[in-house]
Amino acid sequence: MLLDFHRLGWWRWVLLAIVIAVSAFLLLPIIFIATLSFGSSQWLIFPPPSWTTRWYGELFADPRWLAAAFNSLKIGLIVTVLSVLIGLAASFSLVRGKFRGRETLKALFLTPMILPVVVLAVALYAFFLRLGINGTVTGFVIAHLLVALPFSILALTNALEGFDKSVEDAAVLCGAHPLEAKLRVTLPAIAPGLFSAAIFSFLTSWDEVVLAIFMASPTLQTLPVRIWSTLRQDLTPVIASASTVLVAVTIILMLLVALVRKGMKS
């Protein structure tokens, strides 16, 4: 009865109302930001008295915002490549290796994802100060790689577990070099997994705030760091436009993932 929508009676309208309210609660802030970024009011009056692209103009005219966006992109791309390569090698090993303690090793790889990121940030900050790589792209990449790698490993071990290894073996039997078989048989077969690993690695780096705050220097900031430091001063609508750009990139990439998954199914 309670798990049958049509036999819930008037309760189902209550449930439906809650779902709609919560959906609105989840969507509202995102729509709100996008609306404000096109609103003319400096004081973020809602609904906006009139519409303008002035804040985007200011955003794209400011070399500091542009530099931050460029840094985000650069760091994100390096992290993506490394995360997929290291994650792929690790996943092959985790799925096909015969050594003991594979489960423990996988848990170790995933730990940076579940620990409070502030602890990792402080630990790395201290470590990088010693090594002298604080405030460098290298520092950023290492920090983001640690939290991106779990996503990559999850996606790729999952894909590899779903792939029938005998297909690869067949290619080897037909004369392919084992490496060639991996490259031309296995990798295309797990392409959706590779794609998810890449996108989620990129997004993890692109959206990451806490590690970035600790890794940043006045001359090297990512987009979230720039938003963070601006937010601490005032709530200018330029932040709304920067946030909208940030979110738009995320949505486009998420849609791509969804499309690829759908394409693979059909």
Partner 1 sequence: MSSHAVHSITAAKLPRRRKAGGLRGFGGAMPATFLVILFFVVPVLALLLRSVLEPAPGLQNYETLLGSTTYLKVFANTFIVSTLVTICALVIGFPVAWALVIMPSTLTRIVFAILLLSMWTNLLARTYAWMVLLQRTGIINKTLMQLGVIDQPLALVNNLTGVTIGMTYIMLPFVILPLYGVIRTIDRAVLRAAALCGATRWQALTRVLLPLAAPGMAAGGLMVFVMSLGYFVTPALLGGTSNMMLAELIAQLVQSLVDWGLGSAAAFLLLVVTLALYAVQLKIFGTRQMGGR
Stretches 59-67, 73-81, 140-148, 184-192: which one binds partner 1 (CB under 8 A)? Answer: 140-148
Residue 3 near partner 1 by CB under 8 A = yes
| 172-211 binders of partner 1 (CB under 8 A) | 172-173, 175, 178, 203, 207, 209-210
Q: How far apart are CA 214 and CA 212, in angstroms?
A: 5
CA–CA dist 210, 117 (Å, integer):
7
Dihedral angle at the C-alpha atoms of 114, 116, 120, 122, nearest 10 degrees?
Answer: 180
Residues numbered 7 to 66 that lie near partner 1 (CB under 8 A) are: 8-9, 11, 14-16, 18-19, 22-23, 25-30, 32-33, 36, 43-44, 46
By CB under 8 A, residue 2 contacts partner 1: yes
Which residue, 50 or 98, has its beta carbon nearer to partner 1? 98
Per CB under 8 A, does 246 bind partner 1? yes
Number of residues that bind partner 1 (CB under 8 A): 92
**Of the ranges 49-57, 62-70, 190-198, 220-228, which one interacts with partner 1 (CB under 8 A)?**
220-228
Nearer Cβ to partner 1, position 166 or 219?
Answer: 166
Alpha-carbon gap, residue 196 to 152, rounded angstroms: 8
* CA atoms lying within 13 Å on the CB side of residue 70: 9
Shortest distance, CB of residue 86 to partner 1, whole angstroms? 5
From 52-60, 61-69, 189-197, 232-240, give the range in contact with partner 1 by CB under 8 A.
232-240
Q: Which residue, 29 or 263, has its beta carbon nearer to partner 1?
A: 29
Among 42, 64, 70, 97, binds partner 1 (CB under 8 A): 97
Which one of residues 50, 98, 218, 233 is an interface residue with partner 1 (CB under 8 A)?
A: 98
Residue pair 54/40 in contact (Cβ under 8 Å)? The answer is: yes
Whole-number Å distance between alpha carbons of 181 and 168: 6
